[in-house]
Structure 1
């Protein structure tokens, strides 16, 4: 397919490292014949250059009121610039969002023992009201609202999800607050005829997708997995936020969903020891994440197999490489009249989708959507359905 002349109009919640990498990437690949690092150049006729950031929201005084281009390099952001500033458009002026539970004591500079360069300095601008947010989404013809709020932002995420429902805006939920995977929430989006993708973004070549493939490969090759341990260290605000144990539980659940799902998909009953989650915050690492894997297997005749491995990645570009595709899947789904949580794209791009799939099955559904083909799995989502009775049984 050739690129579309229409733009995909997006709004972004949380102008942190992930937003920085996404915004850089939009300009890096714009009119660039070099596609290394992209999973798909064309999705349903949409190229990367068709994605336009129209609205941006944050609560840090160093970002609110500034053009997006300049906000993405403000502290506490620490991801590298892979593109020079002069090659990026100014972008929209960052507006004040709502705080609610988006900032905890550890990441609030007023209450934290960490430096202001590592934490949020809250803006004293008035927080956005729900009716104002809904109006902005409608008036600016926003197709997709991307949720990059900190892990643990339950109330704030639900607030913005409601704004999407009222404004008929698709929701791309990149954090482990369970919306797309919650039947009651999905039903609200079905009733509003809106497609969504979630929950908790699964990086392009990150710890979760590697653990998924290791687990899937071991099972397919006839091995019993005795234990699968994944430990992560990082130095960005995401890792600092997750040192608050009250906020990290949903992340641990989400990461372990990736591991346990492969057993369920393959009907494997086992007493495997699973552990996956953020382990430590070390500021020195900044946006560089170090993931360590320890997997113990039983192979032929019970012979032991042990895998120890380490992965080093920049966390935020790794996420942007997935989000740039999820945006386009959602836009195509909107045009095809799909509604509710997109099964294949959610499974391919997120840790906690409504239905876990094998990598091959999720890729097939993504490919069909990229070619604007409504397959048998997608067909029920062209009509109104009751979530609890239908798709979640698939």
Structure 2
């Protein structure tokens, strides 16, 4: 099939892991890859993906080829493989806006070119590189920058995959404009493959499916990458807490005491993420059931498999003339889509869309 031409808005750890996953598939298109849920989505293999351009504001990345940009000091995700066909994709300057507000501004020096970049220059680059899908992996809280990239993609006619919790697909007005333009929009807030939210919602669905009544729950997450550094600032993490709450409600949690979200930055953990989840429920004769689970994952590869599905779903939506916020695959891929579903229903809807 024709290649899916992808641009990355942000070249951080998740983009690095996704690019490695693509390179692994390109090296052996017929290989069975752990964590790749669907061999094909809409007929597209992961090996059909090409990363043709990227955008960033980091002086250590702008103006360099993609492979070199992923050697920047802020990258903490593991190098599993070298990039192949996409290694020389250019990293272009993005407008600075609010991308480095908060703690990230203390560890990243903005490129001079970022001060001159505009939404128009981003849209022009998307057209020049014939981009099919723009993947937004910017820091949480960068609402202005995320919106700018969505607007630029709309202008260029490129489908959007919004991996951030900033409101894009859930914005009814913006979704309507994408629909009018015939451009697909997927989001919001990527749901990692076997991550904290996936685990937490599965536990809730298990208990509710057995007829128990939920009493309380919490999900506490800590990590050491730049994502957790950024989320340590309460002004940056607010949309993440909202997004996770949306996911728990979609799983069936109603009026119970609960909290879920990032609770700390521990630098020496690097790209390792720890999740501590607790669910208390009432069962037969008023007896109590309590689940305490600890999940340890490398954070960024855990996102890569979902981005691999989302990119192919976005291109498939375009092929099928679907536009605006696309419902079918979104509940399994994102924490806070416009219309969430419990885990089992979301998985069934995605597999139906993918076939």
Match of 1:392 in 2: none
Using the TM superposition, give the Cα deviation of residue 365 of structure 1 relative to its aligned residue in structure 2, in angstroms.
2.6
Partner Cα distance (1:107, 1:44) in 2? 38
Match of 2:116 in 1: 127
Structure 2 unaligned runs (5+)? none
Partner Cα distance (1:89, 1:160) in 2? 21
Match of 1:12 in 2: 8
Partner Cα distance (2:71, 2:319) in 1? 34
2:252 corresponds to 1:263: yes
1:202 is paired with a residue of what secondary structure? coil
Partner Cα distance (1:89, 1:282) in 2? 32
Match of 1:391 in 2: none
Root-mean-square deviation (Å) = 1.4
Partner Cα distance (1:318, 1:235) in 2? 15
Contact 1:234 1:285 in 2 (8 A): yes
Paired residues for 1:50-129 under 5 Å? 50-83=48-81, 85=82, 89-109=86-106, 119-125=107-113, 126-129=115-118
Partner Cα distance (1:248, 1:277) in 2? 8
Match of 1:222 in 2: 211
Partner Cα distance (2:315, 2:330) in 1? 14
2:261 corresponds to 1:248: no
Match of 1:112 in 2: none
Contact 1:344 1:361 in 2 (8 A): no
Partner Cα distance (2:35, 2:340) in 1? 25
2:221 corresponds to 1:232: yes
Partner Cα distance (1:86, 1:92) in 2? 10
Q: Which structure is larger by alpha-carbon Rg, 1 or 2?
A: 1
2:303 corresponds to 1:344: no
Structure 1 unaligned runs (5+)? 110-118, 265-269, 372-394
Using the TM superposition, give the Cα deviation of residue 68 of structure 1 relative to its aligned residue in structure 2, in angstroms.
0.4
Match of 2:129 in 1: 140
TM-score (normalised: structure 2): 0.96
Using the TM superposition, give the Cα deviation of residue 364 of structure 1 relative to its aligned residue in structure 2, in angstroms.
2.7
Deviations 1:141-180 (A, max 9, x none): 1111110110001111111111111111111000011110
2:258 is paired with a residue of what secondary structure? strand
2:71 is paired with a residue of what secondary structure? coil
Partner Cα distance (1:122, 1:339) in 2? 35
2:125 is paired with a residue of what secondary structure? helix
Partner Cα distance (2:136, 2:193) in 1? 18
Moved >4 Å (runs of 4+): 86-89
Using the TM superposition, give the Cα deviation of residue 368 of structure 1 relative to its aligned residue in structure 2, in angstroms.
2.6
TM-score (normalised: structure 1): 0.87
1:213 is paired with a residue of what secondary structure? helix
Partner Cα distance (2:213, 2:274) in 1? 26
Match of 2:155 in 1: 166
2:17 is paired with a residue of what secondary structure? helix
Contact 1:24 1:88 in 2 (8 A): no
Match of 2:201 in 1: 212
Partner Cα distance (1:213, 1:322) in 2? 17
Partner Cα distance (2:283, 2:148) in 1? 49
Contact 1:344 1:363 in 2 (8 A): no
Using the TM superposition, give the Cα deviation of residue 88 of structure 1 relative to its aligned residue in structure 2, in angstroms.
6.5
Using the TM superposition, give the Cα deviation of residue 278 of structure 1 relative to its aligned residue in structure 2, in angstroms.
0.2
Partner Cα distance (1:127, 1:13) in 2? 17
Partner Cα distance (2:190, 2:335) in 1? 6
Using the TM superposition, give the Cα deviation of residue 87 of structure 1 relative to its aligned residue in structure 2, in angstroms.
5.3
Contact 1:261 1:356 in 2 (8 A): yes
Deviations 1:188-227 (A, max 9, x none): 1111111111000000000001111111111111111111
Partner Cα distance (2:85, 2:196) in 1? 30
Contact 1:259 1:274 in 2 (8 A): no
1:107 is paired with a residue of what secondary structure? helix
Deviations 1:322-362 (A, max 9, x none): 01011001111101101111113111100000001122332
Instruction: Give the count of matched residue pairs.
Output: 352
Using the TM superposition, give the Cα deviation of residue 89 of structure 1 relative to its aligned residue in structure 2, in angstroms.
4.5
